[in-house]
Amino acid sequence: MQILISTEVVSLARRVLLLSSLLFVLIFTLGCSNENRQERYNQYNNGLEEGEWRRYHPNGVLMEQRFYSHGMKVGTMKTWWDNGQLQSLYRFVNGEYDGTCFEWSRGGVMTRKMHYKNGYEDGEQHQWYDDGSVRSNYIIQEGRRFGLLGTKNCLNVKDSLDKY
């Protein structure tokens, strides 16, 4: 059995499909308020991330700004809370953390101040709780940590067995 469809019918079907697609996009766009959308601004060059990249919170406040060169993170990356308060500031060289980096709580209290060199912690490292009390405070020298690490003290398994 052979079914013949005229070019007029195919043309009409294409127009209906195009109009229904446009109607869907229009309804979808009108149905989505700005509060539900997350905008992005990205650039590529030869398939690699390039230049300034931005993301926004659903409420329109800038969420993140970072920079790329030939697919690697470079320069300063900043993030913001949805209330507009700065959340973090990190520096990158050749895709690796480098320099002093900071983080803040939603209320604007500094919670981290870290130093990096070629992607690794180096030098003074500080962390605070939201109330400002010290969480950790240590130094990295020649790959070794010295100071308050903010970890809980635990008994060595052997020491705990010797007690019994």
CATH class, domain 39-148, is alpha beta
Instruction: Give the pLDDT of residue 41.
Output: 82
Least Cα distance to 57 among 88, 28, 34, 87 occurs for 34
Contacts of 139 (CB under 8 A, 6+ apart): 123, 124, 125, 145, 146, 147
Closest CA to 86 of 111, 67, 59: 111
- What tens digit of pLDDT does each residue of 13-49 get? 555 444 444 334 333 333 344 444 557 888 899 999 9
Mean per-residue pLDDT, 110-138? 93
pLDDT in tens, 44-66: 999 999 999 999 999 999 999 99
Q: Do the Cβ atoms of 89 and 76 come closer than 8 Å?
A: yes
- pTM above threshold 0.95: no
Give the start-to-end residue ranges of the domains of the chain: 39-148
